Amino acid sequence: MYDAPTLERTVAKDDIKFAARKVQVYYGDTHAIKDVDVDIEDKTVTAFIGPSGCGKSTFLRCLNRMNDTIDVCRVEGDIYLDGEDIYDKRVDPVQLRAKVGMVFQKPNPFPKSIYDNVAYGPKIHGMAKNKAELDEIVEKALRRGAIWDEVKDRLDAPGTGLSGGQQQRLCIARAVATEPEVLLMDEPCSALDPIATAQVEELIDELRQNYSVVIVTHSMQQAARVSQKTAFFHLGDLVEFGETGHIFTNPEDERTESYITGRIG
């Protein structure tokens, strides 16, 4: 049986960052996401859990319109970021992605130096006027990514030469370097060992102070450890959404209970 931490976490603010209403996603003829309504709060970690293929990653990718790059993918319904419809025709996904950063399942640093990895986003968004400012941004991002101490002496070394956990933290640093308001994380620890996972989880908890974090995870322990809100997806449906402690200790839906107790999934 899963021993969930029942610690009730206080949610600092009730501001709604993302509001999704009746979101449908189709991959060609496949109806991947059905009628999802969810509110994601600011300065909160929201976890999406569910068995493989349930649509949690798909939904996450809707939040910064990364699905646009997939030709057969079609999104219906409304997703509001700070009250603005992100699927509005006037919205430039590039601008959206600067505001909604993303960390991927597999660490994917650019095959460039550590410095260039972090500096790339700020550079293309024109966030630094000169080299000194850029240096500052990079240092700040790397500190937030909790990797500064490890790499400060070798900023010119290739990012791909770091260990898996370091690479993932570098990717997080890269994502926060553009000062996003929301950070989407798609199974950020699935390729990491337990120690690196712990480091990243700790980092996520710190990031919560400044960002709204949405994390997709396969590990229910992880969801329980890092998140305040949890959404359970099953076969494209959002089955249950609520306080993490509540979901893990007192799930309302039968399917949620089956999943967290290991009967399905």
Partner 1 sequence: MVDSTAQTPAVGQFDHGSLKVTSPRLKKRWAAEFRLKLYGILALSAAAFALVALLGSVVINASKALTETYVTSEVTIDPEVIGVTADAPPEEIGRAEFGNLVDEMIEAKFPMASGRSAKRELDELISGGASFELADKVAANPSLIGETVTFDFLASDTTDLYLKGEFGALSDEGAEGLLSVSEGEDGTLTLSTSSNDFTEALKQVKTHLYEVAESLRTKADRQQNAVEVYTQRAEAAETEDDRQRQLDSAERARDNRDELLAEADMLEERAAGASGAEQVDDDNISILINAGGGWLRLTEVNRASGKAEMLTRVDLPIENSSDWTLYTSALPESERAISDRQIAWIETLKADGKTESVFNTRLFTAADSRAPELAGIKGALIGSLWTMLVTFSLAFPIGVLGAIYLEEFAPKNRFTNFIEVNINNLAAVPSIVFGLLGLAVFINVVGVPRSAPLAGGIVLALMTLPTIIIASRAAIRAVPPSIRDAALGVGASNTQASFHHVLPLAMPGILTGTIIGMAQALGETAPLIMIGMVAFIVDAPTGITDSATVLPVQVFRWSDFPERAFEAKTAAAICVLLIFLVLMNLIAIILRRRFERRW
How far apart are CB 148 and partner 1 at their closest, in Å?
Answer: 19
Contact 2, 262 (CB under 8 A): yes
What ranges in the chain are assigned the alpha helix state H?
A: 56-63, 93-99, 114-124, 131-144, 148-151, 164-177, 194-207, 220-226, 244-249, 254-260
How far apart are CB 112 and partner 1 at their closest, in Å?
Answer: 5
Instruction: Note whether 160 binds partner 1 by CB under 8 A.
Output: yes
Identify the residue among 84, 111, 136, 254 touching partner 1 (CB under 8 A): 111
Query: Of 260, 80, 239, 99, whose CA–CA distance to 178 is shortest?
Result: 99
- Which residues lie below 8 Å from residue 42, measured CB to CB, with a gap of 6+? 13, 15, 16, 17, 181, 212
**Tokens 């997709």 belong to which residue?**
216
Identify the residue among 174, 208, 229, 234 touching partner 1 (CB under 8 A): 174
Q: In 3-state terms, what secondary structure has residue 17?
A: strand
Contact 171, 121 (CB under 8 A): no
Cβ closer to partner 1: 95 or 261? Answer: 95
Cβ closer to partner 1: 22 or 106? Answer: 106
Query: Distance (Å, rounded) from C-alpha 73 to C-alpha 58?
Result: 10
Footprint on residues 40-99 left by partner 1 (CB under 8 A)? 64, 66, 69, 71, 94-95, 97-98
Instruction: Note whether 263 binds partner 1 by CB under 8 A.
Output: no
How far apart are CB 124 and partner 1 at their closest, in Å?
Answer: 6
Instruction: Note whether 12 binds partner 1 by CB under 8 A.
Output: no
Q: Which residues bind partner 1 (CB under 8 A)?
A: 64, 66, 69, 71, 94-95, 97-98, 101-104, 106, 108-113, 120-121, 124-125, 158-160, 171, 174-175, 177-178
